[in-house]
Amino acid sequence: MSNHLPQIQGVIFDLDGVLTDTAEFHYQAWQKLADEAGLPFDREANEALRGLSRRESLMQIVGDRSFSEETIQAMMDKKNGYYVDLIQNITSAELLPGALALLDELRQAGVKVGIGSGSKNARTIIDKLGIADRLDAIADGYSVKNSKPAPDVFLHAASLLELEPSQCAVVEDAGAGVAAALAAGMWAIGLGPAERVGAAHMVLPSLDGVTWTDLQAKLAQAKPC
Ligand code: BG6
Ligand code: MG
């Protein structure tokens, strides 16, 4: 086991499923759309969609069925309408346990904080959660063309933070997001079951009770990125 000290100067958080439980709302909105369109879908199928863009998610649900671009667009709009309805009442109460404390600890430690989300609704949610003033950079679904598992959204966040990829750690709940962080050459912290995020440098069940000091100590024991 190596025992080096990673020089992490920035932490980039995925949003949905990491800072707040909007991953559940994405699932509910896709389920409603799929039921109406007569497409087979369930929670298990949804697991493969975590972190994927709106279009890529729909493509996975549609499978080898063929629809016109107009219909695809209409289905994406419909799903987003359901999702937007579900996020209307989000407040800071919907921040997941440990999230705010970690954001504050990072700020106090002088570590830069960014968001790297594939969602085009990320800014709305950030505003509703009341955390905009705790963030140094936001990269979202509008920032880059290639979505996770491509590294682009995290590389964009790092450039906004004016940091090199190797100076950044990413916190992710999705397999596609962990893959994106690793492809970016960043430290990856996975939240959730090992089957989903086990490729990360370290895996935790959630951010509950997690401190920056702990994260640094655990990453110091991990194989470098
Ligand atoms: C990601 C979610 O953060 O954003 C995905 O994990 C979602 O489930 C993606 O599909 C795109 O979100 P939106 O809000 O642009 O449809
Ligand atoms: Mg996520």
Its pTM surpasses 0.75: yes
Q: What are phi and psi of 42, to 5 degrees?
A: -155, 180
What are the structure tokens assigned to 181, written together? 């962080």
Residue 223 scores a pLDDT above 90: no
Active site residue 14: yes
Span 53-73, average pLDDT: 97
> Residue 220 and residue 206: Cα distance in Å, rounded?
19
**Interval between CA 217 and ligand 2 midpoint (Å):** 24
| Residue of 90, 117, 119, 146 to mutate, ligand 1, most atoms within 8 A of C-beta | 119
CATH superfamily to which 10-21+92-220 belongs: HAD superfamily/HAD-like (3.40.50.1000)
Q: What is the pLDDT of residues 124-144, one digit of tens each?
A: 999 999 999 999 999 999 999
**Interval between CA 133 and ligand 1 midpoint (Å):** 22
Can you tell me which atom of ligand 1 is nearest the CA of 26? 8
Beta strands in 8-78, from DSSP E residues, in sequence order: 10-13
CATH superfamily to which 23-87 belongs: Putative phosphatase; domain 2 (1.10.150.240)
CA angle centred on 161, ends 158 and 165, rounded to 5°: 30
Q: What are phi and psi of 204, to 5 degrees?
A: -130, 155
Contacts 24+ apart (CB under 8 A), 71-78: 75/33, 75/37, 78/33, 78/36
Q: CATH 1.10.150.240 spans which residues of the chain?
A: 23-87
Confidence of residue 170 (pLDDT cuts 50, 70, 90): very high
Under 8 Å between Cβ of 171 and 198: no
Q: What is the pLDDT of residues 177-215, one digit of tens each?
A: 999 999 999 999 999 999 999 999 999 999 999 999 999
Active site residue 214: no
CA within 13 Å, CB half, 126: 23
Q: CATH 3.40.50.1000 spans which residues of the chain?
A: 10-21+92-220
